[in-house]
Structure formats: C-alpha cells, structure tokens
A and B are shown apart, each in its own frame.
Chain A
C-alpha cells in the first residue's frame, strides 16, 4: 500500500469505530477541501450503506456564496442528511467580522458550534483538522475529549494507544474525532486528484474581484464588504488555499486552475496554509486558547 492508501485505511478504521461505539455521532462539514475528503472517505467506509450519521455545517452567514451552493448540491447528490446551524442570536445582534474581530469568531463559530452540538445532543463530532496545520493541533489526539463546556484540557489528554480508541464518556461530555490527523496539505491534494473528488471552485485560480488588506488578498463576495479608505476593488487571478468567512480568508495570486497545477504550487510553497487564515495570526497560542474554550 502506498502512503495515501495507508492514510485512507486509517481514516476509514476511525470512522467505523466511531459509528460502532459512539452513541450519537455527527460529521462537521465545513465545505472545505478537507471536508470534501472526509465525506468521500465516509461514503467509502460504510458502502453500500450511507454514512450512519448526519452532517452538519455551522453557517456564520459570511461564507462565500459558492460554498453554500456547493454544500447544497453535494448534500443532494449523495442523499446525505445536512444540518445547517446558525447562531441566530448573533445574527440578530448584527455580529459581523468587520466590527467585532475575535468576538465574531467566538460568537458565530465557537458558540454556534457549542449550541448546535448541545441542541442535537451529539456525543462525537468528526472534524477535518490535521496535525500539520498548527502547533497545538500537532499535539492533539485523534480522539480529543471535551468536557461538558466543550473545553479541551491539553495537559491531561487521554492516552491513545495503537488503534484501541477509548470512546467512553460521561453524560454531557463529547468527543472531537479527527480522522485526517495524520494527513498533510499535500496528501489532501494528491488524494483529491487521485480520487477525482469534487471541491469548491474557489480553490482553482480565476479572475476574482479582490482588495488588498494588511497584506491579505480579500475577495469582495457580496455588497456587505466594507472598503477602507484608499482600498479599491481589482480583478486578479486568485485562488484560496483554505475556505472560511470571505472577509477573513486571504487568497493567493495564482495561475493554478487545475488540480495538478495546485499540487505543483503546493509542493513548492514557501508559506504554510494557515497564514492565509486571518484569525490565526493574532498571537502565539491563539489556536490553543480557542480550543480550550470550545473551538473545534
């Protein structure tokens, strides 16, 4: 078996363990490429059965339009149950990425996720996180336990031996499960190419209306985008290495409009993927802090 086959088999094993042992699992679906890979593997893992759990998207209402279209189309195509949850309280208070900075992420993503998991009573949630993304993720177990407040205790992680996952939890506690823990960004792209997996077109380079802000290239996806003095919208050939809320997601200048061109670019990349995610820059340890508070 080559290295992608090993990683795929590992992910399938993990998904089947969760389906067999956990009371009420859900697969978090962020619409990004990692989610596309997770969904693809989930369809394989249980075939000919449909994945025996629903999928859930936490919609901040600020995602790229193309992402939402893609999400609905994929759910329809594979006949999977797609739950969509939005923190309506945050929406009614007008929480937005321009005025509320890190509070926006907390309210519309972290809080929304907690609310959604509580609402449905999910005991285990798959996420597409990878250990190569960020330092605190690099330390996280595949089965990562959360207390009833959804907080993570990095100093006291449950030992994880061989592939004997201990899925026992008390009432109110839950597990985040990362079947792609051991994949790298390059593995993801190579797998997408090999398996011919459909991904949101935003990953491919195309002329798009963008502004430059604090060294990031931000796409103007709708008329809610507020321009700062001196900023002007220009059409540039860009693509995105990660997807999220459009005002917080930096694109990269690129000509790569095919998977193989993207792989070539990734292989020779000089910056890691998360630098294009604005929230990760703030300070050292910011990701760990958010995870302790219940971020995915």
Chain B
C-alpha cells in the first residue's frame, strides 16, 4: 500500500488553481469516464467556447459556478501507481482566506500558483504566510500561464527571484519552483516542448516523489492527549486518544499532566487488539498499573518536555466578521482540552505584503496578529514548532459559537514576569475618599444554614443606612454568573473561592465595602483569600452554628438530600469543614440574635467605619 500525500493548491483569484488540478487529473486519466463526459458536456455551454473548462471538475457549489470563483475548499482524491493523493483546492479570494487556512491546516505540502503575467502578488504573499503559519513545511510554486508570456525563460527567472526573496522570511524544508500552463497542460503530467529550457520534474512527478516526512520529529518522545476515559465496567479503565508523537511500549513509565503523577503502562490496545508497541498516528487505548487522576484534556507523556501554564504568546489568524479587541473572552480548544480564555494583549498585526509589524488595537477578519492569551485554568501545551498537535488552538466565540480564530503557540509566558501592573492615575484611595469611606471585606464562613447570609444581609442594611457603599457576594449572584462553569469538586470549589476573593479585592479597590457569604470550608482557601484581599482589609467571621442545628433548620432541604446521598461532597455530611483557627469574630446563632451579631460586627470594624 502506498503512502498518502495531502496537499493544497492556493494562489490569487484567476490564477487557475481549479484548472490546474482538473487538467492534471484529466491528463493522468484519473477521472471516471462519466465525469469526463459530463465535463465535456458542461464545457460546451461554458465560457471557453466549447474548449474543455477543467475547473468545472472542482468548482462544485452552485454559487461558485454562477460566480465562476471558488468559495470553499474542495477535496479531490486520486491515486497514481506511486502514491495516493488528497488535494484541497482552496479559494483565492481574500474574502475567503479562512477557507484557505482550513485547507492549509490539513496539508503537508502547498502548491502556490503565481500568474506569470503578474508575478508575485499580495495574495501570493498572504497565502505563503498562512501556509507557513499553519505549519506547512514544503512548498511548490507553480508559475502558471506561461503560455500567455510565450514561455519566456527570462520572465520566469525574474519571478523565481521574487519568490526566493519572499521565502527568506520563512523556514520551509523544501521549495520547488516550476513553470506551467494549466490550460495547455505544459509541465503538469508531461514535459513541455515549449519549455525545453526547464530541466526539473513535471508537477505530478515531483508530487509523487517529494518526501514530506518530518525528520525533526523522528526521535521525539511520546505524548497523547486523552480524548476520553473508557470505563465499560469496574474492572477496566483505559485512556483513549491518538499518539501524536513517538512510540510507547507496554511496561513503559508515563507521566500525566497536569497532575504530574507517574504510572506504568499495563496494556495497550490498538482498536480491539492488544499490542506491545504503538506509535505516532495510531488511535489507542492505554491502561495504567495504578489509579491516577486522568480525564479528558489530560496528556500522557514520556521523554518529552511539555509545558503546563496559563499564559502564552501566540500567532493567530482572525476569521470572524466580529473584530478582535483586547480583553475579550473566548473558549480555547487545544488538543482535547477546552477552557475559557482571554486575549490579554494584541502585540501587533502583520502586514501580509511586507511582513512588517504594525501596532494594532483591533484585529479584523483575515488579519494575522501576534498576541498574548491567558487561559482560565492551566493547560498542557508546547511550542508549535516543537510539537505541532499540542501547539495549535482555536478560539470560539462564547455567544455565537463561531470559530473566531486559529492560532499557534510561539512560547510560554510566565504570568508574574509578564503582566505588569498598570499605573493608574485614580487610585483606591481616591475612589474611597470620593465615597467617604474605607473599604474592607467581611468574609462570612460557616456551614450551610448557619445564618451567614441572614447576618450579612442585616449588616449590609445597617451599613447602607449609614450611607456606606456596599456590595454582597453570595451563591446567588456568583454561582449563576461569574462562576457558573464551576461544579462542586474540590478543584472547582478552590477556584470558586479564588475568584470571589479576586472580585472582592477589585470591589475594595473600587472603594466598596464587600460582604461575602460562602461556606468556604477549607482553611487554605480562606488563607488564600486573605492574601489576595490583603490582611488589613480582611475580616474572617465564623458563624459557628452547630451541624445539628443547621440540619434541624434545613431551610433549603439540602441536608435531607445529602443524607440520602443525592448531593455528593456536601459540607458537614460528606465533605469536611475546617474550622477557622483565629477568626476575627465567632458568632454562634444558637446563642446570639441577629441584632446582637450586627452590633458585634459593626463594633469590630468601627475604626474603618470612622465611628
């Protein structure tokens, strides 16, 4: 069985891409007789005065035929004695650049057409740039329409020079420049009597023989992004995915990211067959010799350096009609992981013509830009140039679901090194002074039903009456909005509290007094909140009502459900609550009334309140 070459054709409108492929298939007798008949029939009513219009083989959509242009990628399949090919014929119109990128992301090699009568155009440069961006390492430049310039060797040499100059910007592994005529068939499948001066291979013969195997990647380690966990019953737990690099043997030690756990490979399945070894490209199921924390989006790896992080520098192609602005949130999919993300900073966009970096605040459709992207929780990745499959990503609009951009990771950024706090002219002090108050955060903690919200509410009413500017954060306004993507697993609860602390801090900086009412059962999280908000502004108030009393009250009926096992991880029943060691105040609602509690709290912060 022969190997498979996936390639694309691209170039400007009317460069003759569809014609080139159509003619090559026709000449190489790679189309069926009925397709050939239909083509000859359709050509009779076409624009070439009855001569065969080879492009009709490829332009399949009705509106493409109406307009005589290619809108979307068409995939064609052919096999010669030497190789199987899938060719993606991509549109030349700038408007459809994103469809061209779709083709490029799929291909090992690009055939870029250059019109001999025009030479290298902006669109040639754009396409070369996008091919490079999407990871294509092998390029053929087909200088087409040689028939229209009388097969002029010196003109070809001029264009060849323009192309070589263009390629200096990129690091392609191979470049082949060939003069052709797509309509007349010169140098497509047979040598041309019109260009005896050109000694290279015909296009088809070159494509049949070009080696696109990635030498750089031959000796790499192994990694596999987990697609899904296969658990048909209690006895079997396998991790399914495709090996993206290297090979794996039964008995090998692998590591898991992001957890960092280590295990030995106890079994490898390729499809339904047990094997001892599997390698790059194979779809496998891997079993490990011990329980480790692995779910979709985790990566199994061995002998390879991967990063875990939440901030990186990337090149993107913007594909959405809606422009990109800094700070906007998208879902980012990388490998098998999807996470919320933010484009933190647009560093510059790239002039497709000159390659220059242009400062930009906004990025429009079909533009290439360099930016910094931060993700909501750490992802496993690598630089695209090292490990392609875990170095590229897409951004999805959270409202329209549109795939807004594709991008490749240039390098990791370390959060602390790279986000420099912006010097503001208006400070927390200014904002507080304007409101005539000193901001702080009252952090209420305690079991569900202990009375946190009731007391916080009463305190807020009192502060409001004192003309203080306040804000309450509780499950209702946080869980349903900001944190609605979080569940109740331990990591989610940690993240939940971290975000609440960050929001409280921001509100304090806005000059507001914040009251938070969350169970916040873990001492470590409350300590973290104290760090984020700042020791001086943080008051931990422990509502110490006993479990028995909370359960007796059971205002929301949650304890009953939890006792029936319907709520996993319910604090006090199936989840632990770590009592504060030294809270600013402890209030037991079995002994203290709400009014008394309000008095105690106001008294606690009387200096801040200026009373």
List B contacts of A289 (CB < 8 A): 62
A156 to chain B, nearest CB (A): 9
Q: Is the CB of B60 within 8 A of A135?
A: yes
Q: Which residue of A lies closest to B66 (CB)?
A: A285
List B contacts of A9 (CB < 8 A): 242, 281-283
- Interface bits B1-14 vs A (CB < 8 Å: 1, else 0): 11110000000000
Complex: how many Å from CA A185 to CA B157?
Answer: 43
Q: Which DSSP category, helix, strand, loop or mixed, fits chain B's interface?
A: mixed
- Interface bits B260-283 vs A (CB < 8 Å: 1, else 0): 000000000101100000000111
Q: Is the CB of B227 within 8 A of A138?
A: no
Complex: how many Å from CA A6 to CA B42?
Answer: 36
Complex: how many Å from CA A169 to CA B331?
Answer: 13
Complex: how many Å from CA A49 to CA B392?
Answer: 30
Q: Is the CB of A164 within 8 A of B333?
A: yes
Q: How many residues of chain A are within 8 Å of chain B by beta carbon?
A: 59
Asked if B607 is an interface residue, CB under 8 A from chain A, the answer is no
- Interface bits A172-210 vs B (CB < 8 Å: 1, else 0): 000000000110101000100000000000000000000
| 30 contacting pairs across A/B (C-beta < 8 A) | A1-B281, A2-B2, A3-B4, A5-B281, A6-B4, A9-B282, A44-B272, A47-B271, A48-B230, A48-B232, A48-B236, A135-B58, A136-B60, A139-B60, A139-B73, A154-B71, A158-B402, A158-B403, A159-B101, A159-B102, A159-B406, A160-B403, A162-B106, A168-B331, A181-B75, A182-B75, A186-B79, A271-B32, A284-B42, A285-B62
List B contacts of A284 (CB < 8 A): 42, 62, 65
Asked if A17 is an interface residue, CB under 8 A from chain B, the answer is yes
Q: Is the CB of A160 within 8 A of B393?
A: no
B148 to chain A, nearest CB (A): 28
Asked if A270 is an interface residue, CB under 8 A from chain B, the answer is yes
Asked if A228 is an interface residue, CB under 8 A from chain B, the answer is no
A122 to chain B, nearest CB (A): 18
Q: Which residue of A lies closest to B32 (CB)?
A: A272
- Interface bits A8-22 vs B (CB < 8 Å: 1, else 0): 110011001101110
Q: How many residues of chain B are within 8 Å of chain A by beta carbon?
A: 65
List B contacts of A5 (CB < 8 A): 281-282
Q: Is the CB of A47 within 8 A of B272?
A: yes
List A contacts of B227 (CB < 8 A): 13, 16-17, 20
Q: Which residue of A lies closest to B35 (CB)?
A: A272
Complex: how many Å from CA A158 to CA B77?
Answer: 22
List B contacts of A141 (CB < 8 A): 102
Q: Is the CB of B71 within 8 A of A155?
A: yes
Complex: how many Å from CA A94 to CA B588?
Answer: 77
List A contacts of B242 (CB < 8 A): 9, 12-13
Asked if B319 is an interface residue, CB under 8 A from chain A, the answer is yes
Instruction: Knowing A50-B232, A139-B74, A164-B333 are in contact, say whether A12-B101 is a contact too (CB < 8 A).
Output: no
Asked if B346 is an interface residue, CB under 8 A from chain A, the answer is no
B418 to chain A, nearest CB (A): 25
Asked if B336 is an interface residue, CB under 8 A from chain A, the answer is yes
Asked if A288 is an interface residue, CB under 8 A from chain B, the answer is yes
Instruction: Knowing A12-B283, A154-B61, A155-B61 are in contact, say whether A166-B74 is a contact too (CB < 8 A).
Output: no
Q: Is the CB of B74 within 8 A of A138?
A: yes
List A contacts of B60 (CB < 8 A): 134-136, 138-139, 288
B72 to chain A, nearest CB (A): 5
A137 to chain B, nearest CB (A): 8
List B contacts of A288 (CB < 8 A): 60-62
Asked if B396 is an interface residue, CB under 8 A from chain A, the answer is yes
- Interface bits A125-151 vs B (CB < 8 Å: 1, else 0): 000000110111011010000000000
Q: Is the CB of A184 within 8 A of B1?
A: no
Asked if B516 is an interface residue, CB under 8 A from chain A, the answer is no
Cβ-closest 5 pairs across A and B: A135-B60, A44-B271, A12-B283, A2-B1, A270-B33
Q: Is the CB of B34 within 8 A of A161?
A: no
Q: Which residue of A lies closest to B320 (CB)?
A: A159
Q: Which residue of B lies closest to A270 (CB)?
A: B33
- Interface bits B41-73 vs A (CB < 8 Å: 1, else 0): 010000000000000001011110100000111
Complex: how many Å from CA A186 to CA B84?
Answer: 11
Within 8 Å by CB of B283, from A3, A8, A132, A186, lies A8
- Interface bits A23-49 vs B (CB < 8 Å: 1, else 0): 000000000000000000001111111
A88 to chain B, nearest CB (A): 34
- Interface bits B80-122 vs A (CB < 8 Å: 1, else 0): 0000101000000000001101100110000000000000000
Asked if A255 is an interface residue, CB under 8 A from chain B, the answer is no
Complex: how many Å from CA A275 to CA B35?
Answer: 10
Q: Is the CB of A2 within 8 A of B3?
A: yes
Complex: how many Å from CA A155 to CA B232?
Answer: 42
Instruction: Knowing A9-B242, A9-B282, A47-B271 are in contact, say whether A131-B394 is a contact too (CB < 8 A).
Output: no
> Given known contacts A16-B240, A20-B336, A138-B60, what 11 new A-B pairs fall within 8 Å (CB)?
A3-B4, A8-B283, A16-B227, A17-B227, A17-B336, A21-B338, A155-B72, A159-B102, A160-B102, A170-B401, A288-B60
Complex: how many Å from CA A271 to CA B393?
Answer: 41
A169 to chain B, nearest CB (A): 6
Asked if B231 is an interface residue, CB under 8 A from chain A, the answer is yes
A2 to chain B, nearest CB (A): 4
Within 8 Å by CB of B392, from A135, A164, A271, lies A164
Q: Is the CB of B240 within 8 A of A159?
A: no
Instruction: Knowing A20-B228, A131-B75 are in contact, say whether A270-B62 is a contact too (CB < 8 A).
Output: no
A264 to chain B, nearest CB (A): 15
List A contacts of B74 (CB < 8 A): 135, 138-139
Q: Which residue of B lies closest to A168 (CB)?
A: B401
Complex: how many Å from CA A194 to CA B271?
Answer: 14
Asked if B241 is an interface residue, CB under 8 A from chain A, the answer is yes
Q: Which residue of B lies closest to A52 (CB)?
A: B228
Which residues of B367-422 are within 8 A (CB) of A? 389, 392-394, 396, 401-403, 406
A190 to chain B, nearest CB (A): 8
Asked if A4 is an interface residue, CB under 8 A from chain B, the answer is yes
Which residues of A252-291 are within 8 A (CB) of B? 269-272, 275, 284-285, 288-289
Asked if B296 is an interface residue, CB under 8 A from chain A, the answer is yes
Asked if B76 is an interface residue, CB under 8 A from chain A, the answer is yes
Q: Is the CB of B84 within 8 A of A3?
A: yes
